Amino acid sequence: MKKDKNDRLQAYTDNEMTAAEKAAFAAELQADADLQNDRRLLRDMNRILGDAELVAFRKQATDLVDKETESHRAATPQTGKIMWLQRLTAAAAALILCLSLYFLLQPAPVDYTAVVQEYFVEYPRPTSRGPADRRSLIFDLYSNKNYAEAAPALEKFGNENKDSEALFFAGTAYLAANDAAAALAVLQDLDPPPTALAPQVFYYRGLAYLQRNDRENAVLQLEKVTESNPFLYRKAGELLQRLRK
């Protein structure tokens, strides 16, 4: 059962679920505190691991040298030593060549950080429901641009009270704090988003993907922004034009 939950959590995080599966899992996630903790751990692990593809490539190259070393340790003392040194030198040269080719053939990464900063708009906070209620105090952190503290507080409040608006603002706060992974994790919980928040959710999801240099998914999200929010619709249109050049 635990493995099944972990597999589905990974699929949810990697955006590999259908819309119906996402909606069902998001509801399960909101009701399961342990699963929420697992998601936070997975999010932290993804940040630490970084570029897994490069790590795997380095491991394969290192294993190549180790294999050559082990296969010649049993050779005769003198001749074996010369052969071992020759093969080790050849393996090292191959390793250097492979690493050089790897970096040369990699496309130059596009950094969209400046673009995200240009198109990020601090969305106006909702009207207070009371002079000193907990929700208003949390939103004060957002209004004061204390995003690092506001984001987790809004996320916790949103999950505890099934407050979609608070979760939306948690996502935008994480994005403003340059934590795109956390922003996406929260905004994906709003799938499908409430009708009143749909254009906003799609717009800020697009920015979060772009902050992670994921242009393809950013475009998919920005294309969903509708004219029901004219301001964000215009901003999304401008950004899509830039991304399609």
Reading the chain (245 residues) residue by residue, the pLDDT tens digits are: 555 777 787 787 777 878 778 778 777 877 777 777 777 777 766 655 554 555 555 566 556 556 655 555 555 455 555 555 566 566 666 666 665 555 455 555 567 889 999 999 988 888 766 556 888 899 999 999 999 999 999 999 999 999 999 999 999 999 999 999 999 999 998 988 999 999 999 999 999 999 999 999 999 999 999 999 999 999 999 999 999 87
Can you give 148-185 as a three-state secondary structure string? HHHHHHHHHHHHHHCCHHHHHHHHHHHHHCCCHHHHHH
Inter-residue contact 12 to 42 (CB < 8 Å): no
Q: How many CB atoms lie within 10 A of CB 190?
A: 23
Q: Find, among 121, 126, 132, the residue nearest to 206 by Cα.
A: 121
CB 205 within 8 A of CB 224: no
Nearest CA among 17, 13, 18 for reference residue 47: 13
- Which fold, 112-243? 1.25.40
